[in-house]
């Protein structure tokens, strides 16, 4: 029996392979230099996971470990030291595989966030909470493909963090594991009975309930909001993230704007895929900061939402899907299969 076990060991060792994550894409920061990068690994499991390649199990691994590799990557492209400390919080990096009858799907889950550390605590910058899938029908090299997607995800996270506006609300060490709930609890927009009239330049100003000073909203003859005016300065409404008009909040989207609703989970809109992600050849267009389109266009009929009662009535008969707004990034939280509808 002992001899048989020893004969199996070489075979088992041969069937185990690794795909090392290649953190080599440029993450140079051209705006602000940080004095250091701190990696806080809160993952429940330091192992990432594996997928199969033919009969071999391929483990996705860091070259050294997450802390060392992310620091080496960062300092390689950011050798100049500044004054602030950038913090990368790793919450989840997990690889799994779902086997079908004739193929398999590799799934990579990533949840990570960035902060600026100051004397009063951690100030949130940006986050990534994504699930990426690759089918063996597209490529047999699932581990290699998902390794590249991991690098691209963290590249995007860091680059967006460089541009992000740091939150004024600090999070303590004890609160860091539950920072999203802590920050949401401090947002006035989720609690206020009356919303402040005006336009909101970005998601941060909207969720912290701080409209642009001095701007008034203008509408056309039909009551459709077209622009915001501050003295001689006029800006089309499409240049803003959201606005509040007559006490009603609206989210600006590529084809116009839609009403924002609130429930105990947060803020959401009702929209269709073609409204949030219109095709480049769509007959619907934004005209002069307002809303326009060819008569009879499906997208136009769906998308014109305003104070105009006729437009609102048209759209109510073609209601979209609930899409939540992420208060920490301003991005859409799309329901499952939303892009397939």
Q: What is the pLDDT of residue 16?
A: 79
The answer on 65 and 200 residing in a single domain is no
Q: What is the pLDDT of residue 324?
A: 95
Residues 6+ apart with CB under 8 A from 147: 19, 20, 21, 22, 60
Q: What is the pLDDT of residue 11?
A: 45
Range of the domain at 297: 187-340
The answer on 32 and 178 residing in a single domain is yes
Dihedral pair phi/psi, residue 334, rounded to 5°: -80, 135
Show which of 139, 161, 182 is a domain's final residue: 182
Q: What is the pLDDT of residue 318?
A: 58
Distance CA 230, CA 14 (A): 70
Task: For residue range 153-201, list pLDDT tens digits in order.
Answer: 999 999 999 999 999 999 999 999 999 999 999 998 998 999 999 999 9
CB burial string 68-95: b at 16+ within 10 A, e below: ebbbebbeeebeeeeeeebbbbbbebbb
329: burial class by Cβ within 10 Å (0-12, 13-18, 19+)? middle
- C-alpha closest to that of 203 among 267, 155, 154: 267
Residues 6+ apart with CB under 8 A from 33: 78, 80, 81, 82, 83
Stretches in the chain below the pLDDT threshold 50: 1-14, 281-309, 311
Q: What is the pLDDT of residue 317?
A: 53
The answer on 203 and 150 residing in a single domain is no
Q: What is the pTM of this model?
A: 0.82
The answer on 258 and 169 residing in a single domain is no
The answer on 153 and 93 residing in a single domain is yes
Q: What is the pLDDT of residue 82?
A: 87
Answer yes or no: are the C-beta atoms of 108 and 95 closer than 8 Å.
yes
Task: For residue range 238-269, list pLDDT tens digits in order.
Answer: 999 999 999 999 999 988 899 999 998 899 99
The answer on 293 and 160 residing in a single domain is no
Answer yes or no: are the C-beta atoms of 147 and 21 closer than 8 Å.
yes
**Overall number of domains in the chain:** 2
Structural domain includes residue 1? no
Bridge partners (DSSP) listed for residue 59: 18, 50
Distance CA 166, CA 125 (A): 5
Residues 6+ apart with CB under 8 A from 305: 250, 256, 257, 258, 259, 311, 312, 315
Distance CA 303, CA 279 (A): 14
Distance CA 103, CA 214 (A): 59
Contacts 24+ apart (CB under 8 A), 131-139: 131/107, 132/107, 132/108, 133/105, 133/106, 133/107, 133/108, 134/105, 134/106, 135/103, 135/104, 135/105, 135/106, 136/103, 136/104, 136/105, 136/106, 137/103
The answer on 108 and 26 residing in a single domain is yes
3-state secondary structure 161-223: HHHCCCCCCEECCCCHHHHHHHHHCCCHHHCCCCCCCEEECCHHHHHCCCCCCCCEEEECCCC
Show which of 182, 199, 219 is a domain's final residue: 182
Structural domain includes residue 3? no
Bridge partners (DSSP) listed for residue 98: 105
The answer on 206 and 331 residing in a single domain is yes
The answer on 223 and 106 residing in a single domain is no
């Amino acid at each position: 029996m002992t001899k048989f076990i020893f004969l199996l060991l070489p075979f088992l060792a041969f069937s185990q392979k690794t795909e090392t994550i290649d953190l080599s894409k440029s993450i140079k920061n051209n705006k602000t230099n940080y004095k250091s990068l701190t990696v806080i690994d809160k993952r429940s499991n330091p192992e990432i996971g594996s997928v199969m390649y033919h009969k071999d199990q391929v483990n996705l691994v860091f070259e050294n470990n997450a802390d060392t590799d992310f620091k080496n990557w960062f300092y390689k492209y950011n050798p100049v030291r500044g004054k602030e400390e950038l913090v990368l919080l790793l919450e989840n990096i997990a690889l799994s595989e779902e086997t079908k009858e004739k193929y398999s799907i590799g799934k990579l889950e990533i949840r990570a966030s960035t902060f600026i550390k100051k004397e009063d605590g951690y100030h949130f910058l940006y986050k990534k909470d994504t699930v990426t899938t690759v089918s063996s029908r597209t490529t047999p090299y699932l581990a290699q493909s998902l390794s590249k997607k991991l690098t691209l995800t963290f590249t995007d996270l860091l680059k967006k963090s460089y541009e992000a506006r740091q939150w004024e609300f600090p999070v303590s060490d004890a609160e860091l594991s539950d920072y999203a709930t802590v920050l949401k609890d401090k947002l006035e927009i989720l609690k206020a009975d009356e919303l402040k009239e005006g336009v909101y330049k970005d998601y941060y100003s909207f969720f912290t309930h701080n409209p642009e000073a001095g701007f008034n909203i203008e509408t056309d003859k039909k009551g459709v909001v077209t622009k915001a005016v501050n003295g001689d300065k006029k800006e089309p409404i499409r240049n803003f993230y959201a606005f509040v008009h007559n006490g009603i909040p609206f989210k600006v989207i590529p084809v116009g704007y839609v009403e924002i609703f609130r429930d105990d989970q947060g803020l959401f809109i009702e929209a269709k895929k073609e409204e949030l992600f219109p095709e480049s050849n769509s007959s619907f267009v934004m005209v002069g900061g307002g809303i326009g389109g060819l008569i009879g266009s499906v997208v136009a009929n769906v998308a014109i939402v305003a104070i105009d009662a006729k437009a609102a009535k048209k759209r109510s008969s073609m209601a979209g899907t609930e899409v939540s707004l992420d208060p920490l990034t301003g991005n859409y939280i799309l329901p499952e299969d939303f892009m397939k509808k």
